[in-house]
Amino acid sequence: MEGLREPSFRDSVEIMFNRAAALMDMSPGLEEKIRVCNATYTVRFGVRLRGKIQTFTGYRSVHSEHMEPVKGGIRYALNVNQNEVEALAALMTFKCALVETPFGGSKGGLCIDPRLYDEHELEQITRRFAYELIKRDLINPSQNVPAPDMGTGEREMAWIADQYARMNTTDINGRACVTGKPLNGGGIQGRVEATGRGVQYALREFFRHPEDVRIANLSGTLDGKRCVVQGLGNVGYHAAKFLSSEDGAKIIAIIERDGGLYNENGLDVDRVRDWIAAHGGVQGCPEGTYVADGPSLLEAACDILIPAALEGVINLGNAARIKAPLIIEAANGPVTAGADEVLRNKGTVIIPDMYANAGGVTVSYFEWVKNLSHIRFGRIQRRQEEARHELIVNELERLSADRELGWTLSPGFKEKYLRGADELELVRSGLDDTMRAAYQSMREVWHGRDEVTDLRVAAYIVSISRVAASYRAKGL
Ligand code: NAD
């Protein structure tokens, strides 16, 4: 593919948007309004660390405010820049529309390698960054609600929520200013694992449609499918863990920063994770064979490739050598627009990022609603549900005591049926339902229109139409 120019991440998103827009009937004005990023705020701030002032650069970008608040993660990484943040904010707009969470798209980032700072320093930096954004309503329960992304997690979200509370002491809805908080700090059960769980639900839904599975030249179910995972962080770890422990998939390779591990019989995801936590990388881990050139494992023969680390890893340089017939984009933007074309021509099926990793924002939505309603899901109805179930079980028991009828209840039925759903079960049910419904909406366009030949364009068409409808409803 030498000689072809690799588009930037932002260009890639725009190229993909344009491919979909070309198939839609939108006025050029509206199309342009939806394409452009509304605003990006750049902030440089100083923090006194180790005896001297260090200056940091951060961004918060708002792509579309057709619905408010706008939503999107905050990323901590050295290569964060305005173009990347804007591309990610655009993806958030389309992701939220696709899974019907009532938000516009936003994204934030701080240029920092978080591994170079201790916890206390990171707290100082995060609080200062949050202060700058809160002061301008770029963190606010009704206007802009961040969440974790690469390099951030519950801990950073808790600091941000606390910073907001200090600056807005009378805001009763203050906790809804950020999602992905720890459970004891206003979080919701199941948020940490939500994006990985969503990847699992997305794959389960894909494998429910034999016709789609055949297009990827695969057959059967997830059981026994050989997967390669890149990035064993929040998203990659949970996806790999659930797919291997609950669906029978085999994780034959894990790629991390310092190289990869390969084991044809399947890697034990938890053991690899523990090894990385103790040694800082995969090298030396006895679970599999170490491969120093990690990215070469993206090209390994497998059934499902799961890039879950960063953008642009499947590009014009390696696309032609990718053997996986099915790729699920757990990360944002892992396949460049150029690689997307090469892969489409090869017949590779790609489950696109805006759908595949939408589990995070879906459960973030539940957390935001929980914070605004000030009550845990299931708290009011759980015992009442149990009582009604008990009536049925008592009646069934009475009937099965009648020997002439010859009925018996299956072992364990009573306990299972009586238990009312707790918050975690409700979150999972809401997430599963969301992932199924969003897949169906993409699928209808994919199979319903001749000119639509892949899931990504289908996903863009569904989401752009929804954003357009909401602009039109505003009279624009
Ligand atoms: P994370 O920081 O928890 O994990 C990233 C992992 O990738 C780490 O284990 C890191 O060591 C590894 N990694 C970094 N550079 C690598 C490289 N060059 N090669 C191989 N591995 C590398 O981040 P995360 O939250 O899991 O996010 C991963 C991706 O998923 C990002 O694209 C992010 O935007 C996307 N995403 C995250 C969420 C979420 O809820 N956290 C939601 C939607 C999308």
Query: How far apart are the CA of 332 and the centre of ligand 1, in A?
Result: 9
pLDDT digits (tens, 9 = 90+) for 112-128: 999 999 999 999 999 99
Among 399, 466, 376, 460, residue whose Cα is nearest residue 101 = 466
Q: Which residues contact 83 (CB under 8 A, 6 or more apart)?
A: 8, 9, 10
3-state SS, residue 249? coil
pLDDT digits (tens, 9 = 90+) for 194-237: 999 999 999 999 999 999 999 999 999 999 999 999 999 999 99
Residue ID of nearest Cα to ligand 1 atom 39: 149
Domain membership of residue 45 (yes or no) is yes
**Which domain-ending residue is among 166, 185, 204?**
185
The count of domains in the chain is 3
Same domain, 387 and 264: no
Average pLDDT over residues 63-71: 96
pLDDT digits (tens, 9 = 90+) for 376-392: 998 888 888 888 888 99
Pocket test for ligand 1, best of 9, 88, 98, 150 (most atoms within 8 A of CB): 150
pLDDT digits (tens, 9 = 90+) for 306-363: 999 999 999 999 999 999 999 999 999 999 999 999 999 999 999 999 999 999 999 9
Domain membership of residue 288 (yes or no) is yes
**Residue 138 lies in domain:** 38-185
Check residue 222 and report its DSSP letter.
S
More confident residue, 236 or 401: 236
Pocket test for ligand 1, best of 149, 353, 363 (most atoms within 8 A of CB): 149
Domain membership of residue 31 (yes or no) is no
Same domain, 222 and 329: yes
Q: What is the mean pLDDT of the chain?
A: 95
Same domain, 307 and 394: no
Same domain, 180 and 300: no
Return the ligand 1 atom nearest residue 236 CA: 26
Check residue 350 and report its DSSP letter.
E
Q: How far is CA 70 from CA 22, 92, 178, 454, in A?
A: 26, 9, 11, 28
Please report, rounded to a whole number, the percentage of residues in the chain having pLDDT higher than 90.
88
Q: Choose the catalytic residue: 107, 225, 250, 370.
A: 107
CATH code, domain carrying 340: 3.40.50.720
Same domain, 144 and 266: no
Same domain, 65 and 139: yes
Query: How far apart are the CA of 333 and the centre of ligand 1, in A?
Result: 11
pLDDT exceeds cutoff 70 at 3: no
Residue ID of nearest Cα to ligand 1 atom 40: 360
Same domain, 48 and 178: yes
What is the structure's pLDDT at 411? 86
What is the structure's pLDDT at 1? 45
What is the structure's pLDDT at 4? 62
Query: How far apart are the CA of 449 and the centre of ligand 1, in A?
Result: 34
Domain membership of residue 180 (yes or no) is yes
CB-based pocket (< 6 A), ligand 1: 148-151, 195, 230-236, 255-257, 294, 308-310, 330-332, 357, 360
What is the structure's pLDDT at 435? 98
pTM of the model: 0.94
Same domain, 62 and 173: yes
Domain membership of residue 386 (yes or no) is yes
Domain membership of residue 284 (yes or no) is yes
Q: Would residue 107 show up in a list of annotated catalytic residues for this protein? A: yes
Query: How far apart are the CA of 297 and the centre of ligand 1, in A?
Result: 17
Same domain, 119 and 181: yes
pLDDT digits (tens, 9 = 90+) for 415-450: 888 877 789 999 999 999 999 999 999 999 999 999
Return the ligand 1 atom nearest residue 88 CA: 34
pLDDT exceeds cutoff 90 at 476: no
Domain membership of residue 132 (yes or no) is yes
Average pLDDT over residues 62-85: 97
Q: Are 467 and 94 in contact (CB under 8 A)?
A: yes
Same domain, 265 and 316: yes
Domain membership of residue 200 (yes or no) is no
